[in-house]
Amino acid sequence: MDNELLKQCEQVAQVWATSEVFDDNTKNEVKAMLSNDDKSALIDSFYQTLEFGTGGLRGIMGAGTNRMNIYTVGAATQGLANYLNRNFADRDKISVVIGVDCRNNSDVYAKRVADIFAANGIYVYMFEDMRPTPEVSFAIRHLKCQSGVNITASHNPKEYNGYKAYWDDGAQVLAPHDKGIIEEVNKVRYEDVKTGGDAKYITIIGEDVDKAYIEAVKTLSIDPAVIERQKDLSIVYTPLHGAGMNMIPRSIKAWGFQNVNCVPEQMIKDGNFPTVVSPNPENAEALTLAVNLAKKINADIVMASDPDADRIAMACKDDKGEWQIVNGNQTLMIFLYYIIKNRSAKGMLQKSDFIVKTIVTTELVKKIADKYGIEMKDCYTGFKWIAREILVEEGKKKYIGGGEESFGFLAEDFTRDKDSVSACSLLAEICAWAKDQGKTLYDVLMDIYLEYGFSYNKAVNVVRPGKTGADEIKQMMENYRSNPPKELAGSPVKIIKDFKLLKSTCSCGKVCDIQMPDTSNVLQFYAEDGTKVSVRPSGTEPKIKFYIEVFAPMANVAEYNALCETADKKCTDILKSLGV
């Protein structure tokens, strides 16, 4: 054990255990850590201050500087309030939106945030109950606010909560405001946080915004006639105990679908997520109850949203009638294939239309865009970067869709964060369009592979929790940067892209600049056979992520399963090349 680190943690913890700034429950929790012979919890809770990054805060709930609690949330809010009051000093009124999801303590943190804003003279529009993350983004624009805060840890385990900060465009904060807010937050001491705000600064919102949002989402329907013909499409939906449980079924029905079947056990608001191991729709296990219901009623499609209802997951029947999970890259391909193909068929597609994907997402998307002559933009992981591309082109080009491999999709520009409400509604339309042709969603996916080639994507997360884990992840990235792989499963590496240095190096020795709006700690390796590998530390979880994509020709649907098996084995060999 690092005795110096332990000593530092104990000194900070003693302040928390004795200062009048902290309540009795917090003091008692800290005292218990101090008296425990096992100091691991103490160190993890106090070895650093939970960092307010460009995405806000996210961490395990509990007492300590490195935990989510009313004090770390309070300091973040005071810093944001200071920045807003400075940045918008010329305004008579500064206002923000506050949203929450279903997580334990979300309502406690939200009330604390509202009180602090009010104490700083900032007006608050606070949702009456949990709402989808994209509706919070929508509300900021709809109510013409300067900022917003959403209390959510998205799809993280139940022990976590988070704090997402938004700017006046409804997107998560980007430069220069991100760094400005971080500077203000870092200046705040716990005793500086203002509380006791006047209630006149706080307005509770709900149905008026709900209605406006649902009406806006409905405008995204490309083919209402096909919905009318297939209005009895059998849909199974689960919110995984979270914020989508009201708005998503409501939106799907508003589009015209009449047969929406919700998983009853998961239509209960519960931050403990009792029916799943993890509330992450990227994990097939989370869809177990939904698939079981789909089998029982012979449904056409299964769809799910995560706890804050920004991500979408789906399952469909394959050519043998077996239910299969559709992965995140396939999800994005299906959405963009449908949007581009059907906007074109209806004469709606324009040369000024564009789509966006993240750099770690499948390259097949570009092939679809190229065929129809529209632009595809690449950006960093995270929807704030997709939102930035929309903002940059606003008034010049039209955004028609974009997303990332981690089950996030955004079909509209009136919201600036990934949106499972619009995505679920659009997915229902895609299934109706397929059924209208005697096809399933699986058939649509096969059509894409037959037309554009087979692609197999595999993501591997190496989890390393705590301080030692953070140090190990940092060392892994340094090793890959200083000693990159020379081959991937036997195929020579021909291009290395380093987004921290914004340099692309070819195997011939040529070095080129990469044009991106900022740096990011991401490495990419491209092999001669087309293989693409991306490596990045997670910005919100204690893990390092590996994204692998391999390609192969596909002559007919019968080849699909064999191609997947071969590609998966190749991914295993690629990971060995990377020492994983």
Query: Mind telling me the catalytic residues?
Result: 154
| Whether 360 contacts 381, CB under 8 Å | yes
Contact 316, 326 (CB under 8 A): yes
Q: Which two tokens stand for residue 245?
A: 């449980």
Sign (positive or negative) of CA dihedral 341, 346, 352, 358: negative
Helix (H, G, I), strand (E, B) or coil at 509: coil
Residue 347 CB coordination number (10 Å): 7
Helix (H) or strand (E) holding 330: helix 328-345
What are the structure tokens assigned to 431, written together? 């299934």
Quickly list DSSP for 14-79: HHHHH-TTS-HHHHHHHHHHHH-S--HHHHHHHSSPPP-BTTBEEEEBSSSTTSBSHHHHHHHHHH
| Residues 6+ away with beta carbon under 8 Å from 360 | 381, 404, 405, 522, 534, 536, 545, 547
Rounded CA-CA distance 203/123 in Å is: 8
Q: Is residue 305 within 8 Å of 312, Cβ to Cβ?
A: yes
Query: Strand (E) positions, 286-397?
Result: 301-305, 312-317, 323-326, 353-358, 375-379
Closest CA to 240 of 269, 212, 200, 211: 269
Q: Which residues of 186-225 are buried (b: 16+ CB within 10 A; e: fewer)?
A: eebebeebbeebeeebbeebeeebbebbbebbeebbbbee
Alpha-carbon span 260 to 344, nearest angstrom: 29
Helix (H) or strand (E) holding 482: helix 466-482
Element of type H or E holding 331: helix 328-345
DSSP string covering 451-474: HH-EEEEEEEEEE--HHHHHHHHH
Closest CA to 448 of 557, 533, 559: 557
Cα three-residue angle 404-408-410, rounded to 5 degrees: 95
- Strand duo 353-358 + 95-100: pairing: unpaired
Phi, psi (deg, nearest 5) at residue 530 = 95, -10
Q: How far apart are CA 315 and CA 334, in angstroms?
A: 13
Whole-number Å distance between alpha carbons of 517 and 388: 10
Report DSSP state, residue 56. Answer: B
Residue 264, phi then psi, degrees to nearest 5: -60, -40
* Residue 175 neighbours by CB distance under 10 Å: 11
For residues 164 and 95, give the distance between their C-alpha atoms in angstroms, rounded to a whole number. Answer: 16
CA atoms of 111 and 113, how far apart (whole Å): 5
Give CA–CA dist 27/537, Å, rounded: 34
